[in-house]
Amino acid sequence: MLLPRRQPTIITCASCRAAAPVTRLCLDAHLHLPPGAAVAEPYGFGAAAAAAVIRWRRGHPWVGGVPPHGGRRREPFAFSSPTLIRFVKMPGRDQFYRLHDDIVASILVRLLPKQIARARLVCRRWRAITTDHHFVRASFSRPHAGHGHPITGFFYTSRFMVGSSYLALDRESEVGPSITPTYPASGTTTFSVASSCSGLLLLVRWLPNCQEVYYVCNPLTRQTVPIGELGVGCLCLNLAFDMIKSRHFKVVALGNTHSVYVYSPETRTWRMAIHSDHSASLFHGLCPTRGIFWNGSVVWIVAHSLVRFSIEEEHVTKMPMPLRKKDWICAYIGESGGHLQMIGYTKKEKLTACFDVLEMQEHQSEWSILFRVDLSRVKELYPNIEWPTWDTRYHQQKIMDYLALSPIYVIRGIGKTGQHALIFSTPGKIMSYKMMDREISVIKEIGNPFQLQLEQFWYSFYAYNPSLFAL
């Protein structure tokens, strides 16, 4: 279905600064077409669709003879308004709507997920292409954000208030703080994020009788489905979605007695996967009560070791750990780039703000050092994060006993240009540390209603990257 025709939009070439109507856009060379070479029609869509076509056709022969601008390739056009480019005439080439579905998919997959969601409104064919699971999976796997890392931000659940807020890593990213899931109608009831996985969120809502109700939501597509009541008390719920093995998510619950339950959206029922008789001893010392989905399993920190539950095989085992010093603690676990990251240190290492980020790659069982963190500059910039012992806090020679700094998320760089980074927290601030250039920057300043000078911890942050997966 085509939208009503409107007058061509005037655009400006980013190279020569010459103004020209969009009907003379050269998709092959990023420049103006020779007269009669092609005609384009605007249809009120995102300009990124044209950019995607340009990227797809980059390197093809020039249309209509000698290229302008002395034969040099120039930068893409700077669009001044949203425009969808549709081929009407192209000598020697088929019309766009006659292209094979695979070619159309290879063009549309280059768009940002939010623009793909809009593209579904153009016609039934585009909707069918962009709702295919393989297309959605390919779209999610692309580094759309452009920062060289796989996430756009975090949903943050404060321990001082009810509800969750969104923290964007890139202020210029299309996916920013305006992302707010469309929750089920519930009046003024507030929802909080309890888990995240592959662009999906597990939401919890508290009823007046203190009962918890859970939903799974895709903030981008605005889809929300309720999760059936478990019927027993639970310590935590985790969202699990292996896009390669299944088209459906699962929810894993750890009961109060350390039994493990799995919810399937296909049957809409809970099922006990592990009885407490076989798992209670393994979960002794669980802290915090939050797990991470990685490699088809949910991983928890238990007594500064790691315990994993394999969803497919339905068994609980302890994971191998690296050699640890005395008084070593596990301060963080997370997943990035398909690998499991872990941060641990002794009290002395924590006070120096120098420690290693360890990683276990997919389908492996050994730990390796991903990079070493040196945050000693943070102590120089913010000396108030060092806390002395109570008996020396008024002395001239203070004995430092605590460093108010905590890791939040490890970002594994994508490709050769992407660099690893650590997101961490100090009192009132969320900051980042880039491994290659050791750049330290403040992402956002956050407060709390009680004005407590405390850092935030990783289990209050849920990494998010928009996806188009259907519920």
Reading phi first (left if > 0) and then psi (alpha if -120 to 50, else beta), residue 141 is in alpha
Whether residue 341 sits in one domain with residue 256:
yes
3-state secondary structure 312-361: CCCEEEECCCCCCCCCCEEEEEEEECCEEEEEEECHHHHHHCEEEEEEEC
For residue 364, being part of any structural domain is answered with yes
Report cis status (omega within 30 of 0) of the bond before 322: no
Distance of CA 171 to the CA centre of its chain: 15
Choose the final residue of a domain: 106, 121, 141: 141
Look at residue 437 in the predicted model and tell me its pLDDT. Answer: 86
Look at residue 160 in the predicted model and tell me its pLDDT. Answer: 60
Whether residue 183 sits in one domain with residue 110:
no
Alpha-carbon distance of 345 to 322, in angstroms, equals 12
For the entire predicted model, the pTM comes to 0.76
For residue 147, being part of any structural domain is answered with no
Q: Give the dihedral of Cα atoms 90, 96, 98, 104; nearest 10 deg.
A: 140
Look at residue 448 in the predicted model and tell me its pLDDT. Answer: 67
Q: What DSSP line would sit under 256-309, residue for residue?
A: TTS-EEEEETTTTEEEEEE-HHHHTTTTTTB-SS--EEETTEEEEEETTEEEEE
> Which positions of the chain have pLDDT values less than 50?
1-50, 52-94, 145-148, 174-181, 185-186, 188
Tokens of 265: 């959206």
DSSP state of 146: S
Q: What DSSP line would sit under 186-209, residue for residue?
A: -TT--EEEEEEETTEEEEEEE-TT
Look at residue 225 in the predicted model and tell me its pLDDT. Answer: 93
Identity of the amino acid at 164: S
Q: Which of 340, 343, 425 is nearest to 378 (CA)?
A: 425
Where would I find the H helices in 7-90?
A: 48-57
Q: What DSSP line would sit under 208-224, residue for residue?
A: TTS-EEEEEEETTTTEE
Whether residue 234 sits in one domain with residue 120:
no
Whether residue 359 sits in one domain with residue 243:
yes
CATH of the domain at 263: 2.120.10
Whether residue 377 sits in one domain with residue 414:
yes
Q: Which domain holds residue 334?
A: 153-464
For residue 21, being part of any structural domain is answered with yes
Look at residue 461 in the predicted model and tell me its pLDDT. Answer: 94
For residue 455, being part of any structural domain is answered with yes
